[in-house]
Amino acid sequence: MNTSLRPAVIAGNWKMNNTPSQAQALITQMLPLVKDASCQVVIGVPFVNLPLACQMCKGTNVKVAAQNCHWEEKGAFTGEISPQMLTELGVEYVILGHSERRTYFGETDESLNKRVLAALNAGLKVILCVGESLQQREANVTNEFVCMQVKLDLQNVSEEMLKNVIIAYEPIWAIGTGKTATAQQAQEVCKTIRACIASLYGKQAADGMTIQYGGSMNAGNAAELLSQEDIDGGLIGGASLKAPDFATIVAAAK
């Protein structure tokens, strides 16, 4: 982390976990534990929990994220949620391009780019997820693959709009598997992503960009990962469902 250049952000991704009553209990337990955070804290909750989460986090240091959004403002898109629906609730962030969305719901870089543009145009901050599969890592194409995702997903995003983008590097083989990338592996790819941003937008934009690591980050390994120069925070799945563990990770980001 280099907080003199860019903000540190720890974001929880609850995925499809917690009913509204469970969400209420978890947020109630979490808020006091993270209130003195020196980084930005975000929780990404299921759509049905967004109104409650926004209400409970209002006036606190915790921001709320949705886990996806559509690119259109409204219309015949059954089951979808627009960026405008999110902002009206008080949602400030949206996680886009999570590998589970790409793998299980067929999201492509093309549709993701439309979501990114629509979300930014609506005033949301985007946490854009990229990352390689185990096969790609073993074939030694991680850096090229991740840069390709960054380039495709950020097409037509201006330098001004980029200020509202966080990139989360999430190796697919490390998500929910308990297999964390080593701090060196994670640092290498986050550094590569920063170089890719520099080639597209210049050094100043790259230096100012928050790049997170995600993939089995937990209370035990967060401090080492976050001590790396180019890792400015974390996107946390499983460990964000336990308030004390999440709070330990937040505390490590200082």
Q: Does 238 bind ligand PEP (CB under 6 A)?
A: yes
**Closest CB to ligand PEP among residues 129, 209:** 129
Under 8 Å between Cβ of 243 and 176: no
Q: Is the dihedral of CA 52, 64, 16, 224 positive or negative?
A: negative
Residue of 92, 98, 100, 132 marked active site? 98
**127 membership: H or E segment, kind and range:** strand 125-130
Q: Does 217 bind ligand PEP (CB under 6 A)?
A: yes
For the question of residue 70 being annotated catalytic, the response is no
Cβ neighbours of 55 (radius 10 Å): 13
For the question of residue 92 being annotated catalytic, the response is no
Q: Does 68 bind ligand PEP (CB under 6 A)?
A: no
Q: Does 216 bind ligand PEP (CB under 6 A)?
A: yes
| Chosen residue from 94, 235, 247, 249 binding ligand PEP by CB under 6 A | 235
Residue 168-197 contact track with ligand PEP, rule CB under 6 A, x = bound: --x----xx---------------------
The angle at the Cα of 186, spanning 181 to 188, to the nearest 5 degrees, equals 135
Whole-angstrom Cα distance, residue 35 to residue 163?
25
Per DSSP, the residues of 168-206 read EE--GGGTTSS-PPPHHHHHHHHHHHHHHHHHHH-HHHH
Instruction: Single out the segment in contact with ligand PEP by CB under 6 A; choices: 21-29, 56-64, 119-127, 237-245.
Output: 237-245
Cα distances (Å, whole numbers) of residue 120 to 10, 40, 159: 20, 19, 12
Q: Does 96 bind ligand PEP (CB under 6 A)?
A: no
**Closest CB to ligand PEP among residues 113, 216:** 216
Tokens 């693959």 sit at which residue? 145
Shortest distance in whole angstroms from residue 104 CB to ligand PEP: 12
Q: Does 45 bind ligand PEP (CB under 6 A)?
A: no
Residues with catalytic roles:
98, 170
Could you list the residues that contact ligand PEP (CB under 6 A)? 13, 15, 170, 175-176, 214-217, 235-239
